[in-house]
Amino acid sequence: MDGAAARGGYRGVPHTADLSVEAWAPTREECLAQAVRGVCASFLDLTGAVGVRRRDVVVRAERDEDVLVALLDEVVYRLDTEGEVPVDVELAPVDGGVRGVLWTVDTGSLPVTGAAPKAVTLHGLAMAGGPDGWTCSVTLDV
């Protein structure tokens, strides 16, 4: 990875009738946070958005891929039940998962740019660490 890529990021990947996101970062927790940002940025313009509510989360699962799914399930749940999305994500490792803070805003306060995700799928799910950092990919139904 070059220097810019090593710091972390995300990108949407074309996928028929679904949303696919790839993310990368130097650490597992930042890679997970980049995936959350990528999912939210796929359907809302997050430019200049500042979180107004703190939502504490703990996500545990046996595999890193399952931690990713559980974290994104939390995002979809908050979108569906509270009408809010995280615009900033802070995660730290805990035994068997991550603990973190989602700084959220109401979805109605941001410009809509695409279809909102409805569910995380297991299709194309991957997460791995290596000498150049962490990468993940995930697909969501929209």
Note whether 116 and 1 are within 8 A (CB).
Answer: no
Domain spanning 22-141: CATH superfamily:
Archease domain (3.55.10.10)
The string of pLDDT tens digits covering residues 50-101 is 999 999 999 999 999 999 999 999 999 999 999 999 999 999 999 999 999 9
Domain spans, the chain: 22-141
| Global confidence as pTM | 0.88
Confidence of residue 18 (pLDDT cuts 50, 70, 90): confident
For residue 13, pLDDT beyond 80: no
pLDDT of residue 123: 87
